[in-house]
Amino acid sequence: MKQQLAPVLAELERWLGQGLSLPLWWRDDDALAPTPALDRLLALAAGFDAPLHLAVIPGLAEDALAQRLQDAQHIFAIPHGWQHQNHAPAEEKKAEFGAHRPVQIMLDEVARGWRRIEKMFGPQALPVFAPPWNRVSPAVVEGLTGTGLAAISTFLPRQTKYPSPNLLAVNTHLDPIAWRAGGGLVDPAALAAEIVAQLIDRREARTDNAEPFGLLTHHLAHDERVWSFTAALVEVLTQSGVAIWASPLDGI
């Protein structure tokens, strides 16, 4: 799998030659409970000394998850919606916090979710809201700081650093799972091309390189090829001399 990332390596060498650095962070969605897949994810991250940010579903997560993580190094928890429940009509894309319910009801759920994450994980909890399916209405975004949150994380390069006053955007940028095909790994050549395109945009200042490049994974949905690609990509990035692990809150 590493061989298929040769174009990424070539682009990273250009970064190295120009003295550039790439801030990097890793978000993994849908954590609920201790599982063999979670153990594998934690071992993978530990092998690269990589900070890992688990997007935990507050309304469904088991207390055993916090117990499993309490002694783990460089592991953080962020709220992933409330119950990961779709409220959009059938003809629209799935969303828990879209424009389908009263804003105050949604903000109350966000606040409730963040309180539970804080209570469960203590110092491992970070105030970064990751809405399910990476979709959220502008009205909810505007109210997030009133819930105690400091940042929001969706998908694709951010358009603005602060989508709402005192609310930092720190998105994810690459998801290796072929969701539209029912799962499995996106064609590795296509993934490599996407990474290179995003790196070039950053290098040429078309997008904001101050925003950490976000790897988005879903440990409960990985097959062997997804695991293999994830490990290969993290290895390529960490050994490049360019990537630096960052906190999603570094830009505040």
Confidence of residue 179 (pLDDT cuts 50, 70, 90): very high
Confidence of residue 61 (pLDDT cuts 50, 70, 90): very high
Q: Which phi and psi (to 5°) does residue 39 adopt?
A: -60, -40
Dihedral angle sign, alpha carbons of residues 80, 83, 86, 87: negative
Distance CA 191, CA 194 (A): 5
Distance CA 181, CA 52 (A): 27
Confidence of residue 2 (pLDDT cuts 50, 70, 90): confident
Cβ-count burial of 153 within 10 angstroms (0-12 exposed, 13-18 middle, 19+ buried)? buried
Q: Which phi and psi (to 5°) does residue 187 adopt?
A: -50, 120
Dihedral angle sign, alpha carbons of residues 128, 131, 133, 139: negative
More confident residue, 203 or 3: 203
Confidence of residue 243 (pLDDT cuts 50, 70, 90): very high
Give the pLDDT of residue 251. Answer: 83
Confidence of residue 1 (pLDDT cuts 50, 70, 90): confident
Domains in the chain: ranges and CATH: 2-242 (3.20.20.370)
Residue 91, pLDDT above cutoff 90: no
Distance CA 223, CA 63 (A): 26
The amino acid present at 5, given as its one-letter code, is L
Confidence of residue 249 (pLDDT cuts 50, 70, 90): very high
Give the pLDDT of residue 235. Answer: 98
**Which residue shows structure tokens 């469904």?**
60
User: Kind of pairing, strands 75-79 and 52-56?
Assistant: parallel
Query: What average pLDDT score do residues 22-40 get?
Result: 99
**Which residue shows structure tokens 């919606």?**
81
The answer to pTM > 0.95 is yes
* Bridge partners, residue 75, by sequence: 52
Residue 229, pLDDT above cutoff 90: yes
Chain centroid to Cα 68, Å, comes to 20
Strands of 80-156 (E only): list them: 128-129, 151-152
Give the pLDDT of residue 48. Answer: 97
Give the pLDDT of residue 252. Answer: 79
Give, to the nearest 10 degrees, the angle between helix 188-203 and helix 6-17: 20
Q: Contact, 30 vs 55, CB < 8 A? A: yes
The amino acid present at 111, given as its one-letter code, is A
Lowest mean pLDDT among 48-57, 81-90, 235-244: 81-90
Query: What average pLDDT score do residues 220-224 get?
Result: 99
Query: What average pLDDT score do residues 221-227 get?
Result: 99
- Spatial neighbors of 180 by CB under 8 A, at least 6 apart, are none
Lowest mean pLDDT among 1-15, 83-97, 115-129, 198-212: 83-97
